[in-house]
Structure 1
Amino acid sequence: MSTDKYKRQLLATGDIIETLHYSVFAINWWIFIKKTPEKYSCIPICVNMRIKFELNKTEFIIRIIKQSNNIYQPGYICETDQAAMVYSTPTAAINETYKKLFNVQTRYSGPLVMGFDDEKIAEELQVGVLFFPFKISVYNITVFIFALGSSTLEELNFTDPGYQSSFSHKFRGKQSLIVQSILKDKCQKDIYQQAEKIQTYSGISPKDVWSKLKILNNIDGWKNQQSSIIELSSHLIWVYSENYEFIDWKLQAWRSMMRKVGCTNITHFTKKQSFFEFWTNSLDPSNDRNLISYLYIKNLLNYNPPEPDIKNDNLKMHNTIDKFWKSFDESIHMNKRGFDGKMRILSVIADNFGHREIREKLKISNDLISAAKKYAHTNGPGCVVMTKPIITKSRVSEIQDQEFEAFFASGFKN
């Protein structure tokens, strides 16, 4: 794949390593790219990822490594630089190498040049990710959540050993990484400075731990309210913003977290009727569910069902989309393998959709998708395979050779 400006080509997607991407310093191994003012895309920084691009008509290749002396942070090597120095950021790797080659001080954004903002490159890097970390902002603090879980302990709000999140804040006058964990029967906060753990606090509840930490004393571990019922979207405005548009995976992450802290979805109506979602943290959700049901039946909930025309238009659009994917699915599975079969059919749409969407809709392998994209680039979407012309060579006989010489000789004499 490539872009007009940098002619980027992903040579290797690299590997996601659990001990790096889902551990204490996981925040260093993921990058959040802003797609819109309210939307971010979470992309893994994969070990052994290699990408080729062009700057000033010169080819550069950046490779990401796990540093032997600092495994908590990715290292970046520009293979164009014969010295093969390891840099802590892609920006430094690109700009320092550029300076060596051209003796010019130029500033390029490393993540931008490497293609983390490119939708197709991002989708290839996200293939195989089972859980996407996410971040929320609370009291102007960005919390990075990289593991979830559930348990039977009410005092821990039913959160499981395995839940982990982190954020940066000053501790004893120095910027620190504070990692919050739920262990088997307690909550724990570990304080890291320069990748070294300097302090650990633990307690029976999040509130107990906060009281020992002696910082951010205005924050309670869990928000209290008198009612056991909340409406999810209106509460998320407190975390995000009023006009924030959620993507599916982030909403699913919130729903998963709600369930795993002991909450129950008690919404009476379907998503097609309303986007509202009512949840309760009651141990017995039946009373709250009956209450929401009663309010709904009596038209006391302002749930704003969609207009019939809009609903019908949406239904028609979804039916058309379903027919489109169903047609491709049938064509691909009915045809043979190879250039003149599945690959050629898939090449019609291969460049217009990302790996993940095609894989989910058609249930096919990444290898076939990649092959179809290559087919489209070489032959054109859906076009017949371009065949090289067959050139036949034969030796000229001695008599023919003499005749040619005589012919050309007589021509020059005239």
Structure 2
Amino acid sequence: MSKKRQYTITLLAKGIISEDLHYGIYARNWWELCKFDKTNANLIPYRLFMSVNCYLNNKNFAITVLNNEQTQNPCFSCVCDDKDSGAQPSASVAINETYNQNFGNKTKYSGLAVMGFENESIIHELIADVQFIPIFIHLDKILIVVSKIGISSCEEYYGAGQGYLSTLITKYNGKQSLFIQSILEDECSLDIYYEGIKLYNNKDTTPNKIWETIGILRKYDGVTLFGITNSYVQQKLEELKKNNNIITCTSDNWENIDLLNLIFEQNIKKQKELGAWRAMLRASGCINITSFSKKWHIIEFWIKAPDSSPDRENLAKLFKSGMLVVIEKKSNPDNENKTLWKSLQKALEKNKRGDDGKVGNDTINSTRKHAKLNGPGAPSLIKPRRIVKQMSEIKEKQFLIFFQDRSIVEQSSYKVDKNGLPILYMSDQKTKLWKKFEETFPNGMKKTSFMGRLANCSNIKYRDDMGELCLTCNEYGYTTFESLIAIARNTFSQKDQLDNILRKIDALKRHMRYGYERELVVDADGTTKHNPIVCHMPLENVLKNIIHGA
């Protein structure tokens, strides 16, 4: 039984196989060698624009394969909710970057695993329509990649011919360089590139003669470095010879009706009409430059030119921008009818009232809704669960203790909230209070929780602008108590004692606003009785009485 971790992976878009990328000079970067056990390994393509969804930790992560226009290497983008990894050089970096943004931890996931390269059904779908898989040849420490093959009868080419392409990477003049080896119509070519700059170019009649002039890797002959003599390459060349034992012609012979009829008759016996036309075009030297997926469209673009890359790029840009409108393949009505009747048959079988029972409108509407959201006959998508964690008791106590500090808030002398709690005025902006809270409780609640908890407190707010007060209210309601607070701050240095005194001053302020009116005694002539302790006591004595509880 496999010990590998299993993931829920869905192939959202199959993507396309690009001839320039998957069979060009950078083909080594677009194929991944995946080992399923100790003996079996397959090359799996990173298909351009392929997209998979991986379900991790109750969230859906969508990973898409893109092309780095500068390096022509695959790059990966991972999106989850509103978090985006951006273009990353590997699938592992993309998934781990987005996962870290969502959950804030450093959990690591394998890029191959989340891309579905360990899922046999996904792998089978990715390689189902691949006609040729590049051949990776290990020659000591050198990796030779044969990305294209062609056949000929030349003995010095060992059966290889026009269209053959292979690459290897090794040092040239002390720099790790890319060697591009190809077989043309009647000669061989070797180009050496370093960081996109051509360092060397040579053409000769055989691979052996080309490599003799370079002066490196002398212990190998040219055909070995081209990869031609490899046993698996020779096997593929033999298969290609058997399958291509057909009559061919060039564009110069297109007016030869008899020759064209022979080619058409020979191909129509092996394939359907469309396949025959494709074979005829290939035989005449044309190249298919259709860059979008052929699964959904019936239009193909073929060209006969020495260099097809400019036309291929222009076609891809037109299709991507929406300026090129192609005809979509129409689904088969017979298949749709069969699907409909099968669905109806299943509905009748599951109907509790039997074959004569009626299907309610709610059932029909639910079926329509399911078909629109998930597709006819498809299972329901896994909805991410929203998990809300309750604030721990310790963090709640830290929040309450913080806002009992009189250097943080100032208590109102008369205002209360709807719950009867006294209004507390913040002494600073919320962001600055958060910084103080974080310094005081570094392991406490996070900033988002702090701001949310503060917003839900009806008794903690900014001080209202009350405008100008009359002289009496200003002197007896505020100036006096501000002086008391100033004396207390200058007298007590210990925070616990200072907070205790400030709370008593707040209590006295509230008493003067509410309770003191009940203690006033009014004589018959309308005057209040004189209280010398209250009316003429210096502030220092008032503070002493507060300290001693008088």
Q: Report the TM-score, using the length of structure 2 for normalisation.
A: 0.42
Greater helix fraction, Structure 1 or Structure 2: 2
1:190-201 matches, within 5 Å, as 190-201=191-202
- In 1, Cα distance between the equivalents of 2:24 and 2:137? 18
Q: What is the letter of the counterpart of residue 73 of structure 1?
A: N
1:122 aligns with 2:100: no
1:78 aligns with 2:78: yes
Q: Which residue of 1 aligns with 2:236?
A: 256
Shift of 1:222: 3.6
**Structure 1 portions without partners, runs of 5+:** 224-234, 240-250, 263-332, 345-378, 394-414
- In 2, Cα distance between the equivalents of 1:121 and 1:386? 32
Q: Which residue of 2 aligns with 1:157?
A: 158
Q: Which residue of 1 aligns with 2:523?
A: none
Q: Which residue of 2 aligns with 1:185?
A: 186
- In 2, Cα distance between the equivalents of 1:69 and 1:44? 20
- In 2, Cα distance between the equivalents of 1:387 and 1:52? 35
1:337 partner SS: helix
Q: Is the 8 A contact 2:78 2:84 kept in 1?
A: no
- In 1, Cα distance between the equivalents of 2:41 and 2:351? 44
Q: Is the 8 A contact 1:340 1:385 kept in 2?
A: no
Counterparts in 2 of 1:175 and 1:66: CA distance versus 1, 3 Å:
same
Q: Deviations over 1:123-167 (max 9, x none)?
A: 111122121112122234222111111123333334211101112
Q: Is the 8 A contact 1:340 1:384 kept in 2?
A: no
Shift of 1:111: 1.4
Q: What is the letter of the counterpart of residue 43 of structure 2?
A: C
Q: Is the 8 A contact 2:159 2:237 kept in 1?
A: no
Q: Is the 8 A contact 2:79 2:85 kept in 1?
A: yes
Larger RCO of the pair (alpha carbons < 8 Å, separation 6+):
1
Q: Is the 8 A contact 1:186 1:202 kept in 2?
A: yes
- In 2, Cα distance between the equivalents of 1:182 and 1:384? 65
Identity %: 31
Q: Is the 8 A contact 1:43 1:116 kept in 2?
A: yes
1:44 aligns with 2:24: no
Shift of 1:121: 0.4
**Structure 2 portions without partners, runs of 5+:** 243-333, 353-357, 363-550
Shift of 1:66: 2.1
Q: Is the 8 A contact 2:157 2:223 kept in 1?
A: no
Q: What is the letter of the counterpart of residue 87 of structure 1?
A: Q
Q: What is the letter of the counterpart of residue 77 of structure 2?
A: I
Counterparts in 2 of 1:182 and 1:14: CA distance versus 1, 3 Å:
same
- In 1, Cα distance between the equivalents of 2:64 and 2:84? 14
- In 1, Cα distance between the equivalents of 2:96 and 2:136? 29
1:148-297 matches, within 5 Å, as 148-222=149-223, 254-258=234-238
1:50-69 matches, within 5 Å, as 50-69=51-70
Shift of 1:4: 7.7
Q: Which residue of 2 aligns with 1:96?
A: 97
1:96 partner SS: helix
Shift of 1:84: 5.3
Shift of 1:260: 6.4
Shift of 1:384: 8.9
- In 1, Cα distance between the equivalents of 2:131 and 2:340? 32
Q: What is the letter of the counterpart of residue 5 of structure 1?
A: Q
Larger radius of gyration: 2
- In 2, Cα distance between the equivalents of 1:214 and 1:118? 46
Counterparts in 2 of 1:105 and 1:118: CA distance versus 1, 3 Å:
same
- In 2, Cα distance between the equivalents of 1:198 and 1:175? 12
Q: Is the 8 A contact 1:159 1:260 kept in 2?
A: no
- In 2, Cα distance between the equivalents of 1:386 and 1:69? 57
- In 2, Cα distance between the equivalents of 1:200 and 1:107? 44
1:338 partner SS: helix
Q: What is the letter of the counterpart of residue 178 of structure 2?
A: L
Shift of 1:194: 2.8
Q: Report the TM-score, using the length of structure 1 for normalisation.
A: 0.55
2:113 partner SS: helix
Counterparts in 2 of 1:201 and 1:259: CA distance versus 1, 3 Å:
farther
Q: What is the letter of the counterpart of residue 98 of structure 1?
A: Y
Shift of 1:89: 1.0
Counterparts in 2 of 1:204 and 1:104: CA distance versus 1, 3 Å:
same
- In 2, Cα distance between the equivalents of 1:392 and 1:152? 72
Shift of 1:78: 0.9
Q: Is the 8 A contact 1:157 1:261 kept in 2?
A: no
Q: Deviations over 1:219-242 (max 9, x none)?
A: 01247xxxxxxxxxxx98xx7xxx
- In 2, Cα distance between the equivalents of 1:193 and 1:104? 39
- In 2, Cα distance between the equivalents of 1:29 and 1:18? 11
Counterparts in 2 of 1:38 and 1:91: CA distance versus 1, 3 Å:
same
- Give aligned pairs, total: 258
Shift of 1:258: 4.1
- In 2, Cα distance between the equivalents of 1:120 and 1:176? 38
Aligned-residue CA RMSD (Å): 3.6
Q: Is the 8 A contact 1:159 1:261 kept in 2?
A: no
- In 1, Cα distance between the equivalents of 2:35 and 2:94? 22
Q: Is the 8 A contact 1:155 1:204 kept in 2?
A: no
Q: What is the letter of the counterpart of residue 170 of structure 1?
A: K
Q: Deviations over 1:76-122 (max 9, x none)?
A: 11122544511111111111122222222232221122111211101
